[in-house]
Structure 1
Amino acid sequence: GGLAGIISVGAGLDLYAPPLVILIAFIGAYTMPFVGKFVEKMGIDDAVGAFAVHGYCGVIGAMAVGVMATGYTVGSYPPTNFMAQLIGTFLCTIVLGLIPGYGCSWVLNKLNLLRVPPEEEIEGLDLGDFGLKGYPEYSLTSEEAMSEEHLHAVK
């Protein structure tokens, strides 16, 4: 929630009045889990919720800065155009984010560099990349794994 909030306000943090920062951060942080669940229902593999936090909240922040970045209220508000901000945000997101990201992923996939081999995935990436087991204090030796106490705990 905290990261989603800061990403939602980051684009206009120097322009917002403090109560507006709290409001925009709350909206981004509150709605982000719904986007994460939607992405999961779509069958998209996003293990860390990067799209919900960075993609969705980044779009919220970019739209908010164009509509709400009036600064401190001293005089009249500058004119805003929500549709222009929406179109600009999505064009930048697609042209500068989606297309280059998809292109790089497509090239890496064609070169077989996007995924690790299944054997390395099963044995663990720490062992394959660094030659060490990740969290060895939680690893069992073969004798411990077959012990009566461990087998009873697994049941």
Structure 2
Amino acid sequence: MAASTAAEFKFSETCYLTRIPNFTSPNPKFCLRWFAPVTEVKLCGHVTLASAHTLFTTALVNSNIIEFDALFATLTAERLPDISLTNVSEIQNGGVDGCFLIELNFHTVPVTNFNSAEASLISKALNDAPLIDVKRTTTDGDIFVIPQ
């Protein structure tokens, strides 16, 4: 059903966020899942960030840390003061008009070097974009491309 709803919305990712009673941590906990129009997605950073921002700004949580139980791991989002502010009292009061930063903590994935011959094919697929590095995850074979 979630994938069919995502297909109906036609967005690249649609997220489902559900509060979970949390008896083991002082932080509020939510189940967070991401769906593309065809399948469930393992990770979607921009939707995670948007979910955390919504929870922090609508006072749905009374905490500076939120835990998200995702398909593969537990992620955290932390509300931090905007240290670019110059007035100490603004930082202590949550920033100007509630300005703050959100730090997301994702799990790490082991990676390995990528075959240089295959990297040139990736560059060609990206309209001959120059690449700084290409890595492959050792768990799922996903490819990380760092363009120049």
TM over 0.5: no
> If each structure's helix is expressed as a fraction of its own residues, which one has the higher value?
1
TM-score bracket for the superposition, by shorter chain length: under 0.3
> If each structure's strand is expressed as a fraction of its own residues, which one has the higher value?
2
- From the CA coordinates, give the structure whose radius of gyration is larger: 1
